[in-house]
Chains A and B, each alone.
Chain A
Amino acid sequence: MKKINKIFLSFCIVAAALTSCQDAIEIDQPGRLGAENAFRNVSDLELGILGTYNLLDNTAQIGFTSVITDEVGIGVENGGQRVGLFSQIVNVTDGDAQSIWVTNYAAINSANRIIEAAQTITPDASEQEVYDSVLGQAYAIRAYAHFQLLSYFSTDLTDDNALGVIMVDFVPEVSQTLPRNTNGEVFQLITSDLDRAATLVSASATNVTFITRNFVTALRARMAAYRGQYTQADTYASQVLANVPIATRNQFSSVFADNSNAGIVFKLERTVNDSYDNQATAGGGRAGTLYSFVTAPVGGGNFLEMGRSLFNALSTDDIRFDRYVDDSSVIDPNYATSATYLNSDLLAIGIYEGSEGVNLMNDIKIFRASEMLLIRAEALANSGNINGASNSTAALIKQLRDARYATAQPLPTYANETEAFGDILDERRLELAFQGHRYLDIKRLGQRGNRSVVRDPRDCETNGACTLESTSHLFTMPIPQVELNANSVIRAQQNPGY
């Protein structure tokens, strides 16, 4: 009997262990917020849109554009950074294509979550304006991100039947794999999103670090221009210019020092201790770290310097020279024959020298009035109004140059449309340098303006990659490997050449 008791006792110990087991396997980790409880009211939506904005970045686009085109050359402090892309090697596994693809879809996903959550929230009358504004910004971001993707991944934006990108206007299930839509389908969504945004976003919103109605119009203008729909492009661009005049010569440097918003339609705010306040030599951090490790001036770790051909195109009378070429630069007049070109000719890139005391950190300019002006110039060239003192391409080009040079500039005259487009491209190259435009511009206007990527012979003597014709397949980015891995339907839709 005693023995039985002992056995019984032992099993009680076992049983005690069994009953207390639940706390080991049912653990709710501290600090978790389930997706199902994320958005409960309008304040949550407001917080949500700040998260969505934070997904917008343009540094991968800027860096990729600079390196593959003729904006940069290898710098004296280069330890191998970006040399592959500088040799025009573009690979489906490259970080740039992946970064542009993934961050824009992340922004779209985030916007869709807010749009869907908003359907479940009924705002009070007092909240209605904020609610509308948040929703409008979400639509605008969704449109902007789709358009960014189209710009880099569609072969031809002027062809509505060409393959575009995956259009997403809902929160997808993880198992979903979708094919690319046509450009026309995506444009339709963008257009309807922008129409909504144009009414929902408050007319009184003027902060250029957030989406305003001018943002919506500017995006419409750029999209129309990229599509070759120049009548609309002209209208929208004119609307923006009516609200936001271009920066003057005196304002130009302080605009890039983030001390002035003259001529700014929209820029992404970058500030001390935000999530972009870090180094990233290939995007995703401070913009200036795309070119230099530590500081912009010579000696600050310039692994990329200004391309010699771009430098040669800049006049010292041009205020853009002052801003783009850092004062510390060492200019070798005999660079073309120097035996030590890399060491003797040091062209430090000054555009992103820093702000708020932080080196290399600057706001990312997305839409500027001068781009609108140049879009108008394109529209006029397209309609044959290339010469003349007013309402012509030449007039607008002169207007811009007058705002950049110390003295009034001559009115250009163009022999034909090709020359006009060529000059527009040359002016865009200067006005929008290091802002992520050159690659797309050569792609869409290179043939029409008879321009291509042309590097100075000294910049390409190590890799032989001296030119890149606008017809090259490299002007459309590859659908990145990460998407191909997941999405079998898109594999047959890869862009040509990859």
Chain B
Amino acid sequence: MRTKFSGILTLLLAFVVQLTFAQTKTISGNVTDDSGLPLPGVNVVKKGTSDGTQTDFDGIYSIKADKGSVLVFSYVGFKAKEVTVGDRNSINVQLFADAAELEEVVVEAFRTSTKATSNISSVTITAQTVEARPNASFVQTLQGQVAGLNITTSTGQPGGNSTINLRGISSINGNTEPLFIIDGAPVDEDNFRSLNPNDIESLSVLKDAGATAIYGNRGANGVIIIKTKRGGFNSKLKISYTGITSFSELQEADYSLNNSQQQLQLERDFGSGLGTTLTDAEIAAFGTTDWADVFFDTGITQNHTLSLTSGGKNVSTFTSFGYYDQEGILQQSGLKRFNFRNNVSGKSDNDKFNYGTNFSINYSENEEPNSIGSGAINRNYVLGAFQSVPYLSPADYTNGADLVAQGNFFRNTPLLLLDRLNTFARTENEVKIIASANASYKITKDITASATISGDFTDQQRFRAEGPESFNAILFAQNGNTTPGFQDQRTTRTFAFNSLTSINYHKTFAEKHTVDVSAFTEYFKAHLINFGFQQNGLNPRTFSFGDGSGFVPDNSANDFFVDTVDSTLSNAGLFSYFGQADYDYDQKYGLSATVRRDASYRFSESNRWGTFYSVSGRWNISAENFMQDSIFDLLKLRASYGTAGNQRIVDAVGQFAYFSAPDLTRDLFATGAGYAGQGALSLAQIGNNTLKWETVVSSNIGLDFELFNRRLRGSFDVYQRNTEDLFQNSPISAINSATSLRANVGELENRGFDFNLAYDVIKNGNDGFNLTVNVVGNYNKQEVIDLPTEDGIVFNGGNTVLREGGPINEYYVYRYVGVNPANGNLLFLDANGDVTENPNPNTDRVFTGKNISPDYQGSFGLQADYKGFFATAQFNYTIGVDRFDFDYSGFIDPNAIGQFRHSTDLQRAWTPDNRITDIPSLTATNLALDANSDRFIRSSDYLRLRFASLGYSVPSKFLKNTGFSTVKAFVNGENLFTITEWQGFDAESDNSTANRYPTPRVISIGFEIGF
């Protein structure tokens, strides 16, 4: 039997083989889309084999195939088509867009849905917009791209922290920044300088309660979910390299400043400073130094990323290496980093078990000068750059000892800072590891169990040293201390662990009813170890930065060289369980609900548990029968309502954020140094045992739409967010030995709308000209609803106030109206609006309605391409920001004549011969009163060309047979120009402080190759 069967089989095989040899032929043809345009890059594969080819730039293919075999034509976004090879040698195919494929994937908290079945308000940004930008932190790149996400960067420090607020500021004192989750790992939202933006696949911003309530304890300020790149199964090894070189420079301010002659003349006329001792001829001989050119310089950035992706049947990987080296425009600032990432995905043969791991290790070295923004003339380089008198020059600097002997510290500011450049150093080295692993198992067809664990590890080492021969060391040395100076070293290590376990049930009944239900538990624990010491006393003979050879030991004669040591251990933890249920009827109607119970270690002795929930629903209007022939491809109405919590009582930044204010519920004593340095026992903290969660109640109504075959796309959302039980410093009487206690009092409201709109103005496919324009916008109105005081006003000190009915930190000042022609004094309005020279700061100040938060902000831009050439432009705008221009106030301050540089505006100052002017007399007797006035409040609204890019991507038809799959070159620019009334250095800053490090203008060139 067996023999006979084998014989037949052999015979059959021989026949088939013979037949095959006889019938193989070359098939060719073209592939077009539904409008008849050629489709390049379509995969043409013989079914059941890996033999295949791709269409070329004109949509033409050619393949050897046997009669009777089946060719599969597939292309992303189109329905695949199968054609059986017959007698003809030419097969032309038309592919049609696949409705299901068109559905963008919508990233939600713990699942993904599609545009049609999502109930939430969210925006996803893809790799394209993050890659190839020169910013060390991807957060800066996000600016203006998401409606309602307000990002301001107030420092030009490479990799510096940005302020991120979603739909307004939701807390007065607590954390106001969104939760960031990278591949399932919740991470520190202030420190992205070590991460490589080129590894990012997508960023999703979850905005409304329907999306964020499920993050309960950490979702109050929105959630940003970041996914890094992964390999696909069954894909060939692909290697790609991107290299970018950037040049950064200072964005200049618009002040008209004195040259040396003008400055010295002013000093002489006023009777203060070097000018008073000089003759006309001597004044004329001075050169002018622009100190901004001394302390700022063009910075060069090198950015290289190499990535490899590949995939087998059950495993796929993505590996990348990055090297980044940015010179800051300010002296002594810079960032170098090395990144390595490896992401692995795997699955079982039957697809029931899936797993993924994400691992990145990053090392960065950061040079970051401190005291930036301060008034320290011996420490803040920016102050030296902007304010220094122009008649000194770098050649005037000799050494620190000479500067101490010279005195005249204010005038010598630039020289003190040159000395600091020579003698001071500060570096931060950081190792950051973000790792996560997830696994899921389909227990039955409908039930899946999943688990995700993740860790965020940061180890930061900071070195700082002031050399023994520096001006600062000598100046502040004790009498008789011949080896001053200090070096300190600090190590801060944090580890945060998060574990999420869930079970999901998903089933469709009667074809139209889909139910999705999940239950979760989440466990979070974080640990901090912080250790630092400061060595006082360095021996110049052997001292070298970072090394201890020059440390001077303590002695019996004095306590000058006693070192200080400190060490901290802290722990933090959260625990939650929660559930989600989602129901869909025929992709027409949907309803979701979430509920979450959260416990925080911060409230362990008061109100440990909080409960947060949301409900959301949608109506896919375009899926209704009556909409069938409409212009709408998608029209969907969404609504959500829910709550989310904030337990970050204090808005601490960076590594300490998880650990700040851990037990404000307790009355504590501390042992430590008391009177005359002796040990003592003293009250350290008065507790509030009623502390609980700050809760944000949000409602959102939104509309998503796509029209005219998706040429016009967009969404519009109206929202209201009320923060209840605000964390505020509730004032307490000073008899308690404190003046305030952190408590849950008051309410704050943010309401507004956001929208995004994109329109394909010209659409010609790959062979023609394409132009898309887009606009993103947000309007947000803040209102303080309720405050702890009876009269509804809390004075912050300085010139800002919180007032029920007003915005956060509203300016509270008296009004400056000009110069009194009679005597050159300043004129103000009193509370009644009458002109006065002597307003009373206690009774004449008024609420201005102005503050530093924008009313409108967003961006608009365009993308165009033509036969491989592409161009992008993004303009950002901000309206409704008012700031004090303290830099300018310094430039026209007569008290600083002889010390700092001044504006030429002072030439217009009032004199008996020049009575009608906007600049008061240099000897106006009420000059000090302007400190509580609106004299220097300026609008900082701006329109800025935030980003523009121009490039060429070689079309694939030219790359055929070259081995390359991508070759691309581009030039781009950040902050190319700004239109603003703001005269100062950076209209973008969210801060009134003078002498800060402005963000730079950056021009980059780069290329990308793949094979």
A contacts, CB < 8 Å to B = 3, 6-7, 10-11, 13-14, 17-18, 20-21, 23-27, 29-39, 44, 47-48, 50-55, 74, 77-80, 83-84, 86-87, 89, 91-93, 98, 101-102, 105-106, 108-110, 113, 166, 168, 172, 174-178, 209, 269-275, 293-295, 298-301, 339-343, 354, 356-359, 461-465, 478, 480-483, 485-488, 498
Quick one: which of B519, B571, B662 contacts A14, CB cutoff 8 A? B519
B410 at the interface (CB under 8 A from A): yes
Q: Given A25-B573, A461-B923, are A48 and B680 also a contact pair (CB < 8 Å)?
A: yes
Q: Given A47-B671, A483-B739, are A30 and B663 also a contact pair (CB < 8 Å)?
A: no
Contacts of B929 in A (CB 8 A): 87, 89
Ordered by A's residue number, 16 sampled pairs between the chains whose C-beta atoms are within 8 Å are A14-B519, A27-B662, A33-B684, A52-B675, A55-B682, A79-B895, A91-B841, A91-B842, A294-B476, A342-B272, A343-B273, A356-B558, A358-B478, A462-B925, A480-B734, A485-B789
Which residues between 497 and 533 of chain B lie within 8 Å of chain A, taking CB atoms? 499, 501, 503, 519, 521, 523-525
B954 at the interface (CB under 8 A from A): no
User: Considering only CB atoms, which chain B residue lies closest to A482 in the complex?
Assistant: B739
Contact with A along B679-713 (1 / 0, CB 8 A): 11111101010000000000000000000000000
Quick one: which of B573, B668, B674, B923 contacts A54, CB cutoff 8 A? B674
A14 in contact with B521 (CB, 8 Å)? yes
Quick one: which of A26, A93, A102, A463 contacts B734, CB cutoff 8 A? A102
Q: Given A3-B443, A357-B558, are A486 and B666 also a contact pair (CB < 8 Å)?
A: no
B895 in contact with A83 (CB, 8 Å)? yes
B673 in contact with A275 (CB, 8 Å)? yes
A168 in contact with B673 (CB, 8 Å)? no
Q: Given A33-B669, A462-B923, are A21 and B575 also a contact pair (CB < 8 Å)?
A: yes
Quick one: which of A29, A47, A93, A172 contacts B797, CB cutoff 8 A? A93
- Roughly how many angstroms separate A341 CA and B923 CA in the complex, as a whole number? 14
User: Considering only CB atoms, which chain A residue lies closest to B570 in the complex?
Assistant: A29
Instruction: For the A-B complex with A14-B503, A465-B925 known, give 16 more contacts whose Cβ atoms are closer than 8 Å.
Output: A17-B499, A21-B575, A24-B575, A29-B663, A44-B681, A47-B674, A48-B681, A51-B674, A51-B683, A77-B409, A91-B842, A109-B735, A166-B735, A174-B688, A272-B562, A488-B790
- Roughly how many angstroms separate A354 CA and B798 CA in the complex, as a whole number? 32
A294 in contact with B475 (CB, 8 Å)? yes
A27 in contact with B669 (CB, 8 Å)? no
B675 in contact with A269 (CB, 8 Å)? yes
- State how many angstroms separate the Cβ of B908 from the closest Cβ of chain A: 20
B276 at the interface (CB under 8 A from A): yes
Count, A-B residue pairs, CB within 8 A: 293
- State how many angstroms separate the Cβ of A236 from the closest Cβ of chain B: 26
Stretch of B116-124, B596-604, B649-657, B864-872 that contacts chain A: B596-604
B898 at the interface (CB under 8 A from A): yes
B308 at the interface (CB under 8 A from A): no
Quick one: which of B273, B737, B923 contacts A106, CB cutoff 8 A? B737
B678 at the interface (CB under 8 A from A): yes
Contact with A along B725-740 (1 / 0, CB 8 A): 0000011111111111
Q: Interface of chain B, helix or strand or loop or mixed?
A: mixed
B9 at the interface (CB under 8 A from A): no
A6 in contact with B480 (CB, 8 Å)? no
B842 in contact with A92 (CB, 8 Å)? yes
- Roughly how many angstroms separate A483 CA and B789 CA in the complex, as a whole number? 11
Q: Given A23-B573, A275-B673, A462-B923, are A54 and B407 also a contact pair (CB < 8 Å)?
A: no
Contacts of A463 in B (CB 8 A): 925-928
A301 in contact with B409 (CB, 8 Å)? yes
- State how many angstroms separate the Cβ of B99 from the closest Cβ of chain A: 35
Q: Given A23-B525, A108-B735, are A273 and B559 also a contact pair (CB < 8 Å)?
A: yes
- Roughly how many angstroms separate A34 CA and B410 CA in the complex, as a whole number? 48
- Roughly how many angstroms separate A294 CA and B378 CA in the complex, as a whole number? 12
B795 at the interface (CB under 8 A from A): yes
User: Considering only CB atoms, which chain A residue lies closest to B932 in the complex?
Assistant: A91
- State how many angstroms separate the Cβ of B54 from the closest Cβ of chain A: 43
B735 in contact with A33 (CB, 8 Å)? no
Contacts of A498 in B (CB 8 A): 842
Contacts of B932 in A (CB 8 A): 91
- Roughly how many angstroms separate A32 CA and B663 CA in the complex, as a whole number? 10
B734 in contact with A339 (CB, 8 Å)? no
A35 in contact with B680 (CB, 8 Å)? no
- Roughly how many angstroms separate A47 CA and B794 CA in the complex, as a whole number? 37
Contacts of A74 in B (CB 8 A): 895
A7 in contact with B923 (CB, 8 Å)? no
A13 in contact with B899 (CB, 8 Å)? no
Q: Given A25-B599, A463-B925, A463-B928, are A7 and B673 also a contact pair (CB < 8 Å)?
A: no
- State how many angstroms separate the Cβ of B481 from the closest Cβ of chain A: 7
B329 at the interface (CB under 8 A from A): no
User: Considering only CB atoms, which chain B residue lies closest to A30 in the complex?
Assistant: B569
A172 in contact with B736 (CB, 8 Å)? yes
A172 in contact with B735 (CB, 8 Å)? yes
Contacts of B479 in A (CB 8 A): 354, 357-359
A110 in contact with B449 (CB, 8 Å)? no
B674 in contact with A53 (CB, 8 Å)? yes
| Residue from the set B406, B733, B738 with the largest chain A CB neighbour count within 10 Å | B733
- Roughly how many angstroms separate A298 CA and B524 CA in the complex, as a whole number? 58
Quick one: which of B405, B410, B795 contacts A93, CB cutoff 8 A? B795
Contacts of B547 in A (CB 8 A): none
Contacts of A341 in B (CB 8 A): 271
User: Considering only CB atoms, which chain B residue lies closest to A342 in the complex?
Assistant: B272
- State how many angstroms separate the Cβ of B567 from the closest Cβ of chain A: 10
Contacts of B669 in A (CB 8 A): 33-35, 37-38
B896 at the interface (CB under 8 A from A): yes
B673 in contact with A274 (CB, 8 Å)? yes
| Residue from the set A37, A47, A465 with the largest chain B CB neighbour count within 10 Å | A47
B195 at the interface (CB under 8 A from A): no
3 nearest A-B residue pairs (beta carbon): A299-B407, A24-B573, A51-B682
B577 in contact with A18 (CB, 8 Å)? yes
A168 in contact with B674 (CB, 8 Å)? no
Q: Given A271-B677, A274-B676, A340-B271, are A110 and B737 also a contact pair (CB < 8 Å)?
A: yes
- Roughly how many angstroms separate A340 CA and B650 CA in the complex, as a whole number? 50
- Roughly how many angstroms separate A121 CA and B447 CA in the complex, as a whole number? 65
User: Considering only CB atoms, which chain B residue lies closest to A80 in the complex?
Assistant: B895
Q: Given A7-B443, A27-B572, are A176 and B677 also a contact pair (CB < 8 Å)?
A: no
User: Considering only CB atoms, which chain A residue lies closest to B601 in the complex?
Assistant: A27
- Roughly how many angstroms separate A48 CA and B671 CA in the complex, as a whole number? 9
Quick one: which of A50, A113, A295, A301 contacts B675, CB cutoff 8 A? A50
- State how many angstroms separate the Cβ of B673 from the closest Cβ of chain A: 6
Contact with A along B464-507 (1 / 0, CB 8 A): 00000000000110111100000000000000000101010000
Contacts of B276 in A (CB 8 A): 339-340, 343
Contacts of A482 in B (CB 8 A): 731, 734, 739-740
A80 in contact with B893 (CB, 8 Å)? yes
- Roughly how many angstroms separate A25 CA and B675 CA in the complex, as a whole number? 37
A35 in contact with B668 (CB, 8 Å)? yes
B68 at the interface (CB under 8 A from A): no
- Roughly how many angstroms separate A177 CA and B734 CA in the complex, as a whole number? 9
A47 in contact with B569 (CB, 8 Å)? no
| Residue from the set A24, A36, A78 with the largest chain B CB neighbour count within 10 Å | A24
User: Considering only CB atoms, which chain A residue lies closest to B478 in the complex?
Assistant: A357
- Roughly how many angstroms separate A13 CA and B929 CA in the complex, as a whole number? 68
- Roughly how many angstroms separate A478 CA and B843 CA in the complex, as a whole number? 13
B375 at the interface (CB under 8 A from A): yes
Q: Given A27-B601, A50-B675, are A109 and B559 also a contact pair (CB < 8 Å)?
A: no
- State how many angstroms separate the Cβ of A76 from the closest Cβ of chain B: 8
Contacts of A52 in B (CB 8 A): 675, 682
User: Considering only CB atoms, which chain B residue lies closest to A489 in the complex?
Assistant: B733
B671 in contact with A24 (CB, 8 Å)? no
- State how many angstroms separate the Cβ of B786 from the closest Cβ of chain A: 15
Contacts of A485 in B (CB 8 A): 731, 739-740, 789, 794-795
B272 in contact with A340 (CB, 8 Å)? yes
- Roughly how many angstroms separate A294 CA and B569 CA in the complex, as a whole number? 36
A54 in contact with B680 (CB, 8 Å)? yes
